[in-house]
Chains A and B, each alone.
Chain A
Amino acid sequence: MPVYTVRRVLVAVPTLLLISLILFLLLDLAPGDPTAQLPLTIPPEVKENIRRSLGLGEPIHVRYLLWLQQFFVNEPLHLMSQLTGIDLGGDRHRVISWQTRSPVVDLVIERLPQTLWVVGLSYVAGIAIGLPVGIVSARHQYGWFDQLGTFVSMVGFSVPTFFSGVLLIVVFSVEFGWFPSIYDTTHRVTGWDSLLFQLRQMAMPVTVLALYNAAQISRFMRASALDNLNLDYVRTARAKGMSERRVIFVHVLRNAVGPVVTVIALGVPGIFGGAIVTEQIFKVNGLGQLLITSIQASDLPTVQTLTFVFAVLIVACNLLADLLLGILDPRIRYG
């Protein structure tokens, strides 16, 4: 397996380089202008000057190579200097956002906490709800619980978050006043009271996203468990007089959970991508909001860096999913 892992990682390098090139070309060739959002009262000569100061006067291949150097050489060097305290090239240019004129990586790091809190927690909640619901639904197929579960996951699947989010705000913020409609990213948890506030402000966005995630995962779990429940080995186990608990949790679950783990692992990059719509609605201002505002402002360095980081995460999680499957299912061996 180590050989396999190394080979996969090596293959990933050219793939990612190719992805970064395609991203860069796509972003650069798409229409849009970083000065388009400025008021019309700013004259065109000044706008041209701004574009030049952003480096847009350079030809495209120079700008791409510059980005490569900034991202793959200067940023790691900067990170090393930060960690070790030794100056390894502090004067080198980092990837700078056009909008904020500050290093993009710092922006990403600043936004990670709220995205992980809200989107990550909702993913965990989605798994915690989805897996048991899927198993129970499969065990009692077409029973009342299964019907209810099907209905709820239908709702979770088909109601878009921009609708359910606003609905929750109108009901619980405007009518009842229980939860804040605007997420306070400067809030720090220092004690019980502030923890309570943090939970209150996370309640609505996490609910909205967890419903969606749980819907997805419970359907996968149910389908996978159903596949196994009809197999001969289950019948054999039951015929041998094994308790139902043992049949489900030891035999069926072990076999059924494999494909679901793949689905869950592939969903992880989505957490870092943030939930663009939900973050926007609740003003969580995490990575998703950073991406969308950067796209709107044609802030190419930020968009390029963010989308590339997502690409890396997707490739990495793919690999992780394959390796996990190997551990869970001893029949799978990579050579």
Chain B
Amino acid sequence: MGLARLAPLAIGAFLVSVGAAAERGRDGHVGIIYWQAPSILNPYLSGGTKDLEAASMVLEPLARFDESGNLTPWLSASVPTVANGGVSVDLRTVTWKLREGLVWSDGSPLTAADVAFTAEYCLDPAGGCSQLAKFDDVTSVEALDDLSVRVTFGVPKPYPYGPFVGATSPILQKAQFGDCKGARAPECTEANFRPVGTGPFRVTEFRPNDVISLEANPHYRDPAKPAFATVTFKGGGDAAAAARAVLATGEFEYAWNLQLAPDVLRGMRTAGKGTVVSSFGTLVERLVVNLTDPSPQRGETRSTRAHPHPFLTDLAVRKALSMAIDRKLLVEIGYGQAGRPACNVVPAPEIYASKANDDCLRQDIEGAKRLLDAAGWRPGPDGVRQKNGVRLSILFQTSANAVRQDFQALIKQWWSKIGVETELRNIDASVFFGGDPGSPDTYQKFFADVEMYANNFEGADPEPYLGSWRCGNEPRPDSQWQGENMPRYCSEAYDRLLAEMAETGDIAERARLAKAMNDMLVRDYVLIPLVHRGRVSAHARSLGGVRLNTWDSEIWNIADWHRIR
């Protein structure tokens, strides 16, 4: 984004801040409701979104993503790049410079030692740090002086913005967490519940799984912010109740993540007390096609690459399955404002989103039938297509939830129109996503022909996510069924692109590679994208400054929130 385009925004923001009496705490109290209650305020001991976002009011990273997915300096003076000398030419070290004059909410200065300590805290093997993946390949983090810290990687990192970036990796205070490393991490209840931060608010009371009371941080770097003196962050209940509290009764001013049926939200909005806002990240609801044989007769080697799938290895069949789906109808029924039809597994940010696959938006039952005819799949006596004694009969599994069950029923109907028989299964989410190697029902084991779930990637760089589908990353018995390559996809051409991306630092070139890989996955129909799912939240009409962000914490800019009179 050019400076010229930012200028009007900056002037607008300036006028607003001049218009109101620029004084911290001028707008009194604001109530936020999350229907999942935060359990802990230390993002390194919890990966849950509710906990990360609650903590984001208090703890801050060096840089974070703005609402369009662009990296923005936060506690650092600038984002280090190769161009500004912050990233070394061999792509192995990054030097972050902190802003000058930053202090913690207890008044002590924030230094590079705190940043180095944060890395030490998460990298401790006994700590069970949830954000360990952010520190992949980090060999050392050292404070060079009070304001600069150098991160060294063991391999060249073309995208080095893992550690200390975004709501998942904020800076902890060394003085507070010094005695809480490793196995002692869970004992520091006081620190985990009331972390000292640099953010606009500090915790006055934390009731786990219930409510957090916060007050404006007296040491916050901008003397005019935050506009609110106190915050109540209530958790619990369900999405409908949260939406009601903002849109219908006005008891709260902000409600998070309202996964509700489109007509329910529409009904509540008529009260006129609030606005529903939506924003799209990278979450895509998709079908995954199993390229290996899940038949129980295969015993131990069931759903492994030892046995190719009897009919889903045929590209024509996979393509026909995709062509038979009406994505627009799925969106309308399941998500409304919170979804749009998806043809890509990497739907965003803008520069990474391919436009080559938009033909999937049109449902084409007749075309799918012709395709199957041409491939030699003829309807049998019961209407199910077959070839050489193999019937197109699919076991389709997903996690139990109302929208997914609706989708299953619709897709089954469409597939029956093209002569494919479908048996539906749904599994409790905690089992399906639980990853227990002893359970036959996990999405990793994939003892079915097709499965449906949603996935996304964190931050704005798709490289690790695209790396999921490399050869050898498929779950299998000798990896204890761990791995992300659910379709058991293996393509040399794909792996070559991936290797190329790992050595490319230029953003435009990375975007080209990412699109090419996305197109391979989608054109091979091993992943069939259905719906690009957004985040829907609601705020009171009187609450200003909300910029819904799906790339970082949703309430990332709470310092700028204010009351509109």
Contacts and interface: CB of A to CB of B under 8 A. Distances in A.
Most chain A C-beta atoms within 10 Å of own C-beta, residue among B125, B127, B245: B245
B245 A186 contact: no
Contacts of B208: 97, 99-100, 102, 107, 110
B48 A53 contact: no
Interface stretch (A10-18, A31-39, A73-81): A31-39
A196 interface: no
B40 to A, nearest CB: 5
Contacts of B207: 110, 185-186, 285
A31 B439 contact: yes
A280 B237 contact: yes
Interface in B425-474: 428-431, 433-436, 439, 444, 453, 455-458
B430 A36 contact: yes
Interface centre among B40, B42, B133, B189 (most CB of A within 10 A): B189
A25 interface: no
Contacts of B435: 33, 35-36, 44, 47
A177 interface: yes
A50 B47 CA distance: 10
B70 interface: no
Contacts of A297: 39
Contacts of A289: 209-210, 236
Nearest to A101: B186
A258 interface: no
B244 interface: yes
Contacts of B245: 181-182
B200 to A, nearest CB: 20
B211 A185 contact: yes
Given A42-B130, A44-B435, A182 B457 contact: no
Interface residues of A, number: 54
A283 B126 contact: no
Contacts of B49: 39
Q: Is the interface of B mostly helix, strand, loop or mixed?
A: loop
B434 A32 contact: yes
Q: How large is the interface on B (under 10, 10 to 19, 20 to 34, 35 or more residues)?
A: 35 or more
A119 to B, nearest CB: 16
B112 to A, nearest CB: 26
A173 interface: yes
Interface in A253-273: none
Contact of A53 (B128, B211, B457): B128
A49 B129 contact: yes
B185 interface: yes
Contacts of A45: 132, 482
Contacts of B211: 184-186, 285
Contact of A182 (B185, B241, B429): B241
Interface in A21-73: 31-33, 35-54
Interface in A138-152: none
B192 interface: yes
B128 A54 contact: yes
Given A54-B128, A285-B209, A293 B248 contact: no
B128 A49 contact: yes
A290 interface: yes
A39 B456 CA distance: 9
B411 interface: no
Nearest to B186: A101
B133 A281 contact: no
Contact of B249 (A97, A181, A186): A181
- Which of A50, A103, A180 lies at the interface centre, i.e. has the most chain B CB atoms within 10 A of its CB? A50
Interface in A106-122: 106-107, 110-111
B425 to A, nearest CB: 15
Given A38-B130, A102-B189, A102-B193, A181 B40 contact: no
Contacts of B252: 182
Contact of B458 (A36, A41, A107, A296): A41
B289 interface: no
B79 to A, nearest CB: 22
B251 A180 contact: yes
Contacts of B189: 100-103, 106
B45 interface: yes
B483 interface: yes
Contacts of B483: 44
A45 B132 CA distance: 9
Contacts of B46: 99
A169 interface: yes
B47 A42 contact: yes
Given A37-B48, A42-B133, A280 B39 contact: no
A281 B48 contact: no
A106 B189 CA distance: 11
A298 interface: yes
Nearest to A46: B132
A225 interface: no
The 4 closest A-B pairs by CB, nearest first: A53-B128, A33-B434, A38-B47, A101-B186
23 contacts: A31-B431, A36-B434, A39-B47, A41-B455, A42-B133, A44-B484, A50-B128, A53-B128, A101-B40, A101-B45, A102-B40, A102-B189, A102-B192, A110-B207, A111-B210, A173-B251, A174-B248, A181-B244, A186-B207, A280-B237, A283-B234, A285-B209, A289-B236
Given A52-B128, A100-B40, 4 more contacts: A35-B47, A36-B431, A49-B128, A280-B236
Interface of A: 31-33, 35-54, 96-97, 99-103, 106-107, 110-111, 169, 173-174, 177, 180-182, 184-186, 280-281, 283, 285, 289-290, 293, 296-298
